[in-house]
């Protein structure tokens, strides 16, 4: 009780004391001095402030921690999906110069090795009449390949034979597909993600040596390094040396802006501590190695050592040697100033400094450092992507399943394997650009005048048997116009549509309405339509009287084509066009026979591919499969069989007609340019010369050239002088003098001699004979007319000049 | 007299030889000219390996890739087989054997419609190159029968298998074409 009473009394007394504060009496204790009171108050404020600061700091750190965790445990890197070309196959007898084997080595980052040491992976060595390559292994959705050494023995521009490193004959070699471009996001960063396990120890040692020698010991910030840097900077009178650890560098690149403020530095330090507290050193190092900026290739930023190893040395990071690792570490400090491509001396000097530091710190031996210092930089050639490939990429993206949208393609690091043939694509890019420039020059277009309309074009190449798109250039400059004129533009087809009309009329389903020997009047024609009378005329406004169907197409005569359209029926023409692959609207009007419908070059390519493929229509395709960023197959698009839409006989007759166009008709400019072998094709010039087309094919490829202005306007030349030369130059570049293969008639077609004047069957004694093709049983029954027989000039006629 | 008789006998022997030669020629011609299902003589099918060396370097390389694909099919790796056939077509898009192998592959994989499309392509290419002689059409006839069977057209399948067996009993006895048989 006493105790309680005393406690109560003390309380009372305290209360009384407080109650007496400011009062006059009521307490026997003395008031504390004012200074102490102030100090107490200050102390309280400080405690409160510290508490508040603590709360704020805890919140701040928690927020930073949340940011760190979400970045580290979510998607850390945006990796653009990369698109690869179809692999090149080399075999004995192949024309290695036309396949551009030497260019392939450079573009895929192979390095020439000039010493006699065993060839490293990704290296090659030229010798007299031979090329030795240590081919890298490569991934593929269906058929990946291991690395292998191959010797190509070369003779007369051809591969004479191929041997492996044990001297065994190699029948076929598939080369690694070329990376043609990537689906970049807004930042245009390219990286090739690596895992820490695949990084060689000497690369880690090189980075530690020059960037953060105590990385394994510190906890995110390194006071000794900071002090050292401070001292060095004080001595230098400015900022000369940084005190950042690898963790701080990672934090800065990952989370922060590059500004140099105290607040940013504090945040960086706090985050570095958090990162170190949460993750182990190997995880941090792996993130750093994937994030670090390593320079530029054109407009693309190179990030991470995986991409840098490919960019500088054309090899995987696991295959880097000590000197190569030292160079990569040397570049980190200042990738542009130390770029080994632009400043090789500077880069080499810093590489040697890294090697010296590595030896000094005992990370490599003196001998290893000396040996590495003696190595040249020996960089892979830089191959800049052609912006023109992006038309193909856009078309490819549209063919991918919908789930692969732009966002996903720019971050998921997919590897997309396409059908593009790099040799054909390069030729297409070059010859379309050259052809348009040359045409503008001939037309006197002032290309320097601001706002002047520039000619545009498309060059599209397809494999008729499979529909694979081998090359696509949808305009003259992707940077200024992304409008893909091969797939998106719908332009009047003009005369390149006529073969559809002829195919409809030649097909057995129509009767057939005509044979190639049918005489068609090239005479004035008037067709009444709901919109008034339609009177087609030929391009030269002349009429030639009766001509054979073959001659009519070879000379691209409009009036006979309109008559044939009428004979077969426009609805049948529309139906045939649909079967052959045209999906655009087709007005069922008489003028459709002359190609007044608007179609895309891709549709026209499909139509002609069907003729080239014997009536089997392929489905256009631009990719064969894709892998995710770990190399696991995600999608495959195996070859689909072409569908029979036209009987082989009719397809052959149409092909034969189109061969005639090239041999004797409006496409004979191709022969004049020295192109030999099986080539079929058709010119097309629309009214007012707004659109110029040339569509041609060989047994192995179909190519479409379109030339015109985006805002339709007269060009001033016909297609034989506008589109055909581009097609000819392209084909000549990719096939050489002679085209492989042949167009061979199927058994349903027979060859019979006819009289070209009458279209009748030419018997012995008929003055003129010309072989012609017919579907079996459709050859003319009429024979060469008697009057023609008797009109034949005899010996005396010739003698007396009668 | 005797000489004349000998000469006459000699002429008779020569005529006999010519006649028997003509009969033999006609018989062999029938084997080539007649279509399947008409009581054909057995023929030795031309395998992919047999076709090597008959065309040009590109065709040979393409055929070797087809063989690689058939080996992958035999080993039960259909995806790798498909890639090999695709590369074979890349080297020589007019190689009928590549499409024949694709038809076989798809029939085996349970896609008779795809198999049918590739078979059409193969036959069209054979026809416009060497002609559809029985030594190559033996594959097509049997595969068409297999496709008909898979599509439930059993009467057509039976008739075609009959023809295929008459052309090559060893290949089509079991009504099945393995990758190694085509190889």
Residue of A nearest to B52 (CA): A171
Please determine, for residue A179, whether its predicted confidence score (pLDDT) is greater than 50.
Answer: yes
Cα A216-A221-A226 angle, rounded to 5 deg: 110
Q: If you average pLDDT over residues A173-184, what whole number do you get? A: 91
Please determine, for residue A31, whether its predicted confidence score (pLDDT) is greater than 80.
Answer: no
Among A20-24, A380-384, A683-687, which is the least confidently predicted range? A20-24
Q: If you average pLDDT over residues A448-468, what whole number do you get? A: 91
Q: Which of residues 559-618 of A touch B (CB under 8 A)?
A: 613-616
* Max Cα-Cα span within chain B: 80
Please determine, for residue A219, whether its predicted confidence score (pLDDT) is greater than 50.
Answer: yes
Q: Residue A67 burial by CB count (10 A; 0-12/13-18/19+): exposed, middle or buried?
A: middle
Cis peptide before A512 (omega within 30 of 0): yes
Q: What is the mean pLDDT of chain A?
A: 88
Cα A268 from Cα A220, distance rounded (Å) = 10
What integer pLDDT is reported at residue A239 of this predicted model? 60
**Contact at CB, A700 and B93, closer than 8 angstroms:** yes
Q: Name the helix (H) or strand (E) containing A216.
A: none
Please determine, for residue B3, whether its predicted confidence score (pLDDT) is greater than 80.
Answer: no
By Cβ distance, the residue of B57, B58, B128 closest to A746 is B128
ipTM above threshold 0.90: no
Task: Find out whether A514 and A549 touch, Cβ atoms under 8 Å.
Answer: yes
- The alpha-helical segments, DSSP class H, found in A76-188 are 101-107
What integer pLDDT is reported at residue B135 of this predicted model? 87
B87 touches chain A (CB under 8 A): yes
By Cβ distance, the residue of B80, B120, B125 closest to A644 is B120
Please determine, for residue B38, whether its predicted confidence score (pLDDT) is greater than 90.
Answer: no
Q: Give tens-digit pLDDT for A693-744.
A: 999 999 999 999 999 999 989 999 999 999 999 999 999 999 986 798 899 8
Residue of B nearest to A470 (CA): B90
How do beta strands A623-627 and A415-418 pair?
antiparallel
Place of tokens 């400090």: A333
Please determine, for residue A528, whether its predicted confidence score (pLDDT) is greater than 60.
Answer: yes
Please determine, for residue B37, whether its predicted confidence score (pLDDT) is greater than 60.
Answer: no
Q: Who contacts A783 (Cβ-Cβ below 8 Å, separation ≥6)?
A: A760, A761, A762, A763, A766
Q: Give tens-digit pLDDT for A756-772.
A: 989 999 988 888 999 99
A99 touches chain B (CB under 8 A): no
Chain B residue numbers touching A423 (CB-CB < 8 A): none
What integer pLDDT is reported at residue B4 of this predicted model? 54
Please determine, for residue A474, whether its predicted confidence score (pLDDT) is greater than 70.
Answer: yes
What integer pLDDT is reported at residue A220 of this predicted model? 87
Q: If you average pLDDT over residues B1-14, what whole number do you get? A: 53
- The alpha-helical segments, DSSP class H, found in A279-387 are 281-291, 304-313, 322-332, 344-360, 366-373
Among A130-139, A448-457, B81-90, B169-178, which is the least confidently predicted range? A448-457
CA gyration radius, chain A: 39
**Contact at CB, B124 and A648, closer than 8 angstroms:** yes
A471 touches chain B (CB under 8 A): no
Please determine, for residue B36, whether its predicted confidence score (pLDDT) is greater than 90.
Answer: no
Is A178 or A790 the better-scoring residue by pLDDT?
Answer: A178
What integer pLDDT is reported at residue B18 of this predicted model? 52
Separation in Å, CA of B57 to nearest CA in chain A: 5
Is A410 or A239 the better-scoring residue by pLDDT?
Answer: A410
By Cβ distance, the residue of A91, A141, A644 closest to B61 is A91
Query: Which regions of chain A carry the CATH code 3.30.2060.10?
Result: 86-177
Dihedral angle over CA of A704, A707, A712, A717, nearest 10: -120
What integer pLDDT is reported at residue A388 of this predicted model? 83
Separation in Å, CA of B129 to nearest CA in chain A: 7
Q: How confident is the model at residue A687 (pLDDT cuts 50, 70, 90)?
A: confident
CATH of domain A86-177: 3.30.2060.10
Please determine, for residue A556, whether its predicted confidence score (pLDDT) is greater than 60.
Answer: yes
Task: Find out whether A558 and A577 touch, Cβ atoms under 8 Å.
Answer: no
Separation in Å, CA of B24 to nearest CA in chain A: 25
What integer pLDDT is reported at residue A158 of this predicted model? 94
Query: Which structure tokens are listed for B160?
Result: 């075609």
Residue A9: other Cβ atoms inside 10 A = 11
What integer pLDDT is reported at residue A734 of this predicted model? 94
Q: If you average pLDDT over residues B126-138, what whole number do you get? A: 82
pTM here is 0.82
**Contact at CB, B60 and A744, closer than 8 angstroms:** no
What integer pLDDT is reported at residue A266 of this predicted model? 85
By Cβ distance, the residue of A172, A465, A466 closest to B65 is A172
Strand-pairing partners, residue A89, are: A174
B61 touches chain A (CB under 8 A): yes
Q: How confident is the model at residue A459 (pLDDT cuts 50, 70, 90)?
A: very high
Active site residues of A: 211, 495
By Cβ distance, the residue of B58, B121, B131 closest to A642 is B121
Is A19 or A666 the better-scoring residue by pLDDT?
Answer: A666
Alpha carbon of residue A614 to chain centroid: 30
Please determine, for residue A12, whether its predicted confidence score (pLDDT) is greater than 60.
Answer: no
Task: Find out whether A612 and A699 touch, Cβ atoms under 8 Å.
Answer: yes
Separation in Å, CA of B62 to nearest CA in chain A: 9
Q: Which of residues 152-181 of B touch A (CB under 8 A)?
A: none
Chain A residue numbers touching B124 (CB-CB < 8 A): 613-616, 648, 746
Specify whether domain A189-373 bears CATH 1.10.3810.10.
Answer: yes
Place of tokens 């059908």: A419
What integer pLDDT is reported at residue A434 of this predicted model? 96
Express as a percent the part of chain A with pLDDT over 70: 92
Please determine, for residue A416, whether its predicted confidence score (pLDDT) is greater than 90.
Answer: yes
Chain B residue numbers touching A745 (CB-CB < 8 A): 128
What integer pLDDT is reported at residue B5 of this predicted model? 54
A156 touches chain B (CB under 8 A): no
Kindly write down the DSSP assignment for every residue of A507-539, as one continuous string: SGGG--S--TT-EEEES---EEETTEEE----T
Q: If you average pLDDT over residues A212-237, what whole number do you get? A: 83
Query: Which regions of chain A carry the CATH code 1.10.3810.10?
Result: 189-373
A157 touches chain B (CB under 8 A): no
B79 touches chain A (CB under 8 A): yes
CB pairs under 8 A between A and B: 113
Is A71 or A460 the better-scoring residue by pLDDT?
Answer: A460
**Helices H / strands E in chain B, number of each:** 10, 0
Q: Give tens-digit pLDDT for A257-279.
A: 767 777 888 888 888 898 899 89
Closest among A588, A589, A566 to A578, alpha carbons compared: A588
End-to-end CA distance of chain B: 63
What integer pLDDT is reported at residue B26 of this predicted model? 40
């Amino acid at each position: 009780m006493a105790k309680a009473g005393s406690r109560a009394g003390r309380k009372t007394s305290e209360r009384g004391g407080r109650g007496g504060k400011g009062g006059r009496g009521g307490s026997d204790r003395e008031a504390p001095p004012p200074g102490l009171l102030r100090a107490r108050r200050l102390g309280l404020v400080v405690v409160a402030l510290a508490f508040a600061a603590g709360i704020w700091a805890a919140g701040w750190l928690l927020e930073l921690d949340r940011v760190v965790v979400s970045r580290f445990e979510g998607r850390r890197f945006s990796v653009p999906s990369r698109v690869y070309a179809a692999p090149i196959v080399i075999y004995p007898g192949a024309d290695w110069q036309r396949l551009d084997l030497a260019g392939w080595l450079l573009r895929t980052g192979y390095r020439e090795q000039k010493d006699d040491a065993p060839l490293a992976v990704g290296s090659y060595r030229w010798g007299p009449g031979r090329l030795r390559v240590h081919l890298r292994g490569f991934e593929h959705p269906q058929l990946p390949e291991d690395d292998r050494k191959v010797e190509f023995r070369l003779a007369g521009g051809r591969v004479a034979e191929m041997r492996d490193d044990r001297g065994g004959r190699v029948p076929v070699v598939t080369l690694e597909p070329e990376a043609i471009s990537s689906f970049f996001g807004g930042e245009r960063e390219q990286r090739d993600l690596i895992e820490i396990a695949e990084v060689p120890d000497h690369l880690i040692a090189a980075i530690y040596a020059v960037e953060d020698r105590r990385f394994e010991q510190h906890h995110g910030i390194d006071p000794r390094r900071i002090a050292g840097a401070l001292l060095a900077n004080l001595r230098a009178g400015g900022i000369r040396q940084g005190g950042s650890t690898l963790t701080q560098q990672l934090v800065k690149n990952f989370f922060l802006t590059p500004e140099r403020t105290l607040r940013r530095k504090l945040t960086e330090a706090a985050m570095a501590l958090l990162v170190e507290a949460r993750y182990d050193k190997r995880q941090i190092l792996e993130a750093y190695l994937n994030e670090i900026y390593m320079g530029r290739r054109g407009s693309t930023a190179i990030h991470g050592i995986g991409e840098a190893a490919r960019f500088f040395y054309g090899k995987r990071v696991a295959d880097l040697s000590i000197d190569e690792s030292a160079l990569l570490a040397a570049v980190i400090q200042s990738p542009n100033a130390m770029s080994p491509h632009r400043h090789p001396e500077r880069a080499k000097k810093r590489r040697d400094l890294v090697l010296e530091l590595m030896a000094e710190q005992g990370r490599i031996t003196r001998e290893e450092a000396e040996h590495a210092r003696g190595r040249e930089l020996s960089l892979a050639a830089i191959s800049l992507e052609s912006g023109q490939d992006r038309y193909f990429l856009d078309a490819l993206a549209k063919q991918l399943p919908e789930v692969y949208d732009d966002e996903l393609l720019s971050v998921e690091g997919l590897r997309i394997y396409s059908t593009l043939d790099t040799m054909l694509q390069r030729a297409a890019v070059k010859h379309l650009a050259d052809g348009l420039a040359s045409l503008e020059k001939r037309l006197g277009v002032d290309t320097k005048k601001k706002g002047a309309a520039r000619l545009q074009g498309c060059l599209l190449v397809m494999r008729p048997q499979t529909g694979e798109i081998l090359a696509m250039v949808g305009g003259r400059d992707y940077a200024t116009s992304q409008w893909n004129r091969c797939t998106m533009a719908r332009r009047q087809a003009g005369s390149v549509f006529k073969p559809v009309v002829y195919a409809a009329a030649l097909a057995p389903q129509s009767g057939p309405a005509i044979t190639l020997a049918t005489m068609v009047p090239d005479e004035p024609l008037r067709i009444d339509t709901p919109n008034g009378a339609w009177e087609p005329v030929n391009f030269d406004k002349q009429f030639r009287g009766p001509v054979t169907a073959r001659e009519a197409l070879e000379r691209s005569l409009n009036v006979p084509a309109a008559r044939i359209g009428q004979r077969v029926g426009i609805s049948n023409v529309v139906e045939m066009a649909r079967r052959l692959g045209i999906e655009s609207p087709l007005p069922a009007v008489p003028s459709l026979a002359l190609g007044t419908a608007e179609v895309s070059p891709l549709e026209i390519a499909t139509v002609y591919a069907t003729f080239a493929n014997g009536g089997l229509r392929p489905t256009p395709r631009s990719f064969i499969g894709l892998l995710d960023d770990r190399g696991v197959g995600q999608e495959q698009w195996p070859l689909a069989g072409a569908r029979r839409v036209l009987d082989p006989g009719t397809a052959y007759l149409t092909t034969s007609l189109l061969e005639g166009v090239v041999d004797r008709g409006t496409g004979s400019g191709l022969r004049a340019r020295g192109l030999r072998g099986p080539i079929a094709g058709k010119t097309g010039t629309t009214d007012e010369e707004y659109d110029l087309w040339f569509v041609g094919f060989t047994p192995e490829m179909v190519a479409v050239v379109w030339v015109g202005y985006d805002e339709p306007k007269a060009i001033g030349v016909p297609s034989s002088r506008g589109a055909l030369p581009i097609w000819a130059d392209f084909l000549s570049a990719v096939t050489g003098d002679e085209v492989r293969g042949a167009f061979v008639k199927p058994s349903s077609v027979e060859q019979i001699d006819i009289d070209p004047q009458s279209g009748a069957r030419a018997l012995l004694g008929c003055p003129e004979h010309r072989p012609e093709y017919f579907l079996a049983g459709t050859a003319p029954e009429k024979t060469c007319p008697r009057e023609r027989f008797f009109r034949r000039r005899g010996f005396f006629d010739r003698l007396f000049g009668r | 007299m005797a000489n004349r008789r000998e000469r006459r006998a000699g002429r008779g022997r020569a005529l006999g030889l010519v006649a028997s030669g003509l009969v033999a020629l006609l018989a062999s011609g029938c084997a080539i000219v007649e279509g399947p299902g008409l009581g054909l003589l057995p023929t030795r099918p031309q395998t992919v390996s047999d076709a090597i060396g008959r065309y040009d370097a590109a065709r040979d390389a393409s055929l070797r890739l087809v063989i690689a694909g058939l080996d992958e099919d035999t080993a039960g790796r259909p995806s790798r087989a498909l890639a090999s056939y695709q590369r074979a077509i890349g080297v020589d898009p007019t190689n009928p054997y590549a499409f024949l192998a694709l038809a076989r592959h798809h029939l085996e994989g349970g896609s008779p419609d795809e198999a049918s499309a590739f078979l059409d392509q193969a036959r069209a290419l054979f026809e416009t190159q060497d002609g559809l002689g029985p030594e190559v059409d033996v594959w097509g006839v049997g595969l068409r029968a297999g496709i008909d069977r898979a599509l439930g057209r059993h009467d057509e399948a039976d008739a075609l298998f009959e023809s295929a067996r008459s052309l090559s009993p060893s290949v089509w006895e079991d009504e099945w074409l393995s990758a190694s048989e085509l190889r």
